[in-house]
Chains A and B, each alone.
Chain A
Amino acid sequence: MGYVAAAYAVTLLGIGYYWWTLWVRRSRLSRQLGQTPPREGRG
């Protein structure tokens, strides 16, 4: 069972980690531009 737990944990952690990096990069750029994060989905 440890193998199954490891595989699912790695998958969820990998997705979560990448999501977090996107969030950090977007927040940093928004701060640089002196604004709140813009609404997405326009292009």
Chain B
Amino acid sequence: MAVEAEKIAPPESARGFPGRPRPALVTTGLLAPPVLWLGVFFLVPVVLIFLYSVNVFAFFPGTQGFSLDAWRNFLDGSPFLDLFWKSVRMSLIVSVVAVVAAYPIAYYLALIASKRKYVLLLLILAPFLVSYFLRILALKVILGDQGVINSFLFWTGIRAEGDPVPWLLYSQFTVILTLIYVYVPFVALPIFVTLESLDRRLLEAAADLGASRWQTFRKVTLPLSLPGVIAAFIFVFIPTTGEYFTPLLVGGVGGTMFGNAIADQFGQSLNWLNGSVLSFFLLVVVAVLMGIFARYLTIRRVATG
């Protein structure tokens, strides 16, 4: 680190701006650790995964040799491909619903709850103080065949005793519900930040010009907050497409997702070849989707606000 410190503080005579470090060196110094980190722990493994997927590396030594068979089998109507699109569908539903549900919360916090907003924001984040696993266990108690909801239905007579709603627990519905529940607070944050930095004078101007509250929202607030909305959407969409833990715990037979198939290939089935194909495919598709979002949905404005 002493070397770095020297770089940051060069002798004054060498610089046009006394006391200020040379920008290029600082940039390199600051960027090197994260870039190295990404290189070693992300890029190299991705390359390895790709090499496994074309059988240049193999789990069982002696069986390797370049081959695209695993890719061909996967793309040629395998059940895993269908499972992938099912996961994308589930993930889309989760992302859209979570964003729509989080928007009013963020709106209220940013524009209406003036003094108390940070307290309320903390309250929204409070569930994160409880471990994810415990929250899922609690959901199981609520959604089970003799759980809170079904017991209530029995009590009111809406469902006959002994005839619970079967899809409340261990189904696609459960996975989607759980993921939405988990992600709404996450999603509210970026939307909150964009709404917070919104120029209030624009809203006043809209009102002065005779716009109704709805018109103001539709023509001013919503378009200006779109970068936050898109960022929020991506926040949910990327991790949930490869979701593993939630479907494992509450998905049952119908709620299995692509991430579970990948885990099985590497773990239970020792099929690293196929597992690598699935992993790499997921990576590529998500990267491409992100590229599309970035291009057409002006993600650059998210960064600059």
To the question of whether A and B form a pair in one complex, the answer is: no
- Residues of A near any B CB (own CB < 8 A): none
- Residues of B near any A CB (own CB < 8 A): none
